[in-house]
Structure 1
Amino acid sequence: MTEKIRTIIVEDEELARNLLKSFLEDVDNIELIAECENGFEGVKAINEMKPDLVFLDIQMPKITGFELLELLDHKPHIIFATAYDQYALKAFEYNAADYLLKPYSKDRLVEAIGKVAERIKTEGSDSDIAEKVSEYPKEEPLDRIVVKDRYKIHIIPVDQVRYIESMDDYVMIYTPENRYMKQKTMKYFENTLDPKNFVRIHRSYIVKVEEIQEIQQYEKESYIVILHDKTKLKVSKTGYKNLKDILNF
């Protein structure tokens, strides 16, 4: 007897969910264990129920499909199902099993499921998908950062970020009211934050340019930046060059 592929649907459009469910009813090796109408529900269901496969929309309210992937502790196989063809290349860079462009046929769906079944047979779980997602740069600069804090998901507009500090495999993101830890690299934020608004001043710090009040020399060829709230951050030689380039001094 063929083992069932435990499956979750994350799709905000009810008609699209119902159509996908009706297709899946005729696929013998699929066991549908949950359906979610937004990314928040999807994160909770995937981490708790640990499916083998997720059908994932991309453009959804609250958080996108790509942002959802960043928040997963459990790493299932992913088939994207979306009306937007412009994300196809990015989806495959993220190691998606397949990319279904709406409207798709039942035959096309079965073909995609076959790819997942083959992956499960040869590879097991898709455990590296979070790392793949986290390090690919976006086509457009980030406009928000999604952070999971135990049972809460915070959506932080980038214009609220004051600076980011490296903490080994994590970063600490500072806003005027709070700070948030996220498992990302500084290189990721250096690649995805708008370079007109943020500058890497040190291997440990990325700072919003408008937060800088002054730059002080405290030793020969050693500098610090002082932010408007009087926070002091070290500046490396490369960071000082970056500051000169962006501030034109």
Structure 2
Amino acid sequence: MNEKLNVLLVDDEELARDLLKSYLKGHEKVQLIGECENGFEGVQKINELKPDLVFLDIQMPKITGFEMLQLLDHKPEIIFTTAYDQYALKAFEINAIDYLLKPFSKERMCAAIDKVVERRGQAQEQSQRISRLSEYADEEYLDRVVVKDRHRIHIIPIEQIRYIESMDDYVLIYTDEGRQMKQNTMKFFESHLDPHEFIRIHRSYIVRVSQIEEIQQYEKESYVVILKDKTKLKVSKSGYKNLKEALDF
């Protein structure tokens, strides 16, 4: 395949971007199409320019590299570049192409690019691999959720979430300020929210424990949860079991 890879750099350190640009200059397999100094700009540029490959730093101001991946409409291949080796295993768990630990050599970068070229023809594997990138959080339990709403990015602290509702491949996140839609699964949130603070009460609902005001029976073995704002949410049999265990009644 002779077509060049369109490459974008996302890194808050100018020196790191300059080093990568010097390494990429003249590389026969790539074409640099832009650079970004933070994750917000990265989301905009990736969705606009649709690069084949992104060199992505992990620890950046405002939002992390992992959080940025969750906001993308266009899903490029990812090579992580970072000074922190504790993220290496996590990066490979979500099937990033490679993980470059700063400072890295030009030869090491070229070897990573070769991996991208090798995998480009494997469309199904690529699709499965990239879909996992947006299902990852870089912490055991989330302390915030990053949501893209058209051209705006919202950072929602976990303590502001009242409940989460499933909507096919998306979820609706409810706060006192309203609701936001995010492309994640309920399984993702169930595994990344502190179980002492949130309970899965139904296949469609995860609720913050502190928001529960009452559990009400309306039919035999059928219950609803009533939140402090009087919102009523259905409770499944397994959800009722989860409530009993969590609230000890």
Report the Cα distance in structure 1 between the residues aligned to 2:218 and 2:122, rounded to whole angstroms.
58
- Paired AA for residue 73 in structure 1: D
Cα shift at 1:97: 1.1
**2:11–2:36 CA contact under 8 A, matched in 1:** yes
Q: Does 1:181 pair with 2:204?
A: no
SS in 2 for 1:92: helix
- Paired AA for residue 127 in structure 2: S
**1:75–1:125 CA contact under 8 A, matched in 2:** no
Q: Does 1:202 pair with 2:183?
A: no
Report the Cα distance in structure 2 between the residues aligned to 1:92 and 1:236, rounded to whole angstroms.
36
Which residue of 1 is the match for residue 25 of structure 2?
A: 25
Which residue of 2 is the match for residue 213 of structure 1?
A: 213
Which residue of 2 is the match for residue 236 of structure 1?
A: 236
Report the TM-score, using the length of structure 1 for normalisation.
Answer: 0.94
Which residue of 1 is the match for residue 190 of structure 2?
A: 190
Report the Cα distance in structure 2 between the residues aligned to 1:138 and 1:37, rounded to whole angstroms.
20
**1:75–1:129 CA contact under 8 A, matched in 2:** no
Which residue of 2 is the match for residue 144 of structure 1?
A: 144
CA gap of 1:170–1:226, structure 2 versus 1, over 3 A, is: same
Cα shift at 1:129: 4.2
Which residue of 2 is the match for residue 39 of structure 1?
A: 39
Q: After superposition, where does 1:131-170 map in structure 2 within 5 Å?
A: 131-136=131-136, 139-170=139-170
Which residue of 2 is the match for residue 84 of structure 1?
A: 84
Report the Cα distance in structure 1 between the residues aligned to 2:24 and 2:145, rounded to whole angstroms.
34
Report the TM-score, using the length of structure 2 for normalisation.
Answer: 0.94
Task: Give unpaired runs (5+ residues) of structure 2.
Answer: none
- Paired AA for residue 179 in structure 1: R
Cα shift at 1:101: 0.4
Q: After superposition, where does 1:63-74 map in structure 2 within 5 Å?
A: 63-74=63-74
**1:137–1:191 CA contact under 8 A, matched in 2:** no
Report the Cα distance in structure 2 between the residues aligned to 1:125 and 1:36, rounded to whole angstroms.
28
Report the Cα distance in structure 2 between the residues aligned to 1:125 and 1:7, rounded to whole angstroms.
20
SS in 2 for 1:67: helix
Report the Cα distance in structure 2 between the residues aligned to 1:216 and 1:50, rounded to whole angstroms.
50
**2:66–2:137 CA contact under 8 A, matched in 1:** no
* Worse-matched range after superposition: 31-40 or 85-94: 85-94
Task: Give unpaired runs (5+ residues) of structure 1.
Answer: none
Q: Please provide the CA RMSD for this pair.
A: 1.8
Q: Does 1:62 pair with 2:62?
A: yes
SS in 1 for 2:155: strand
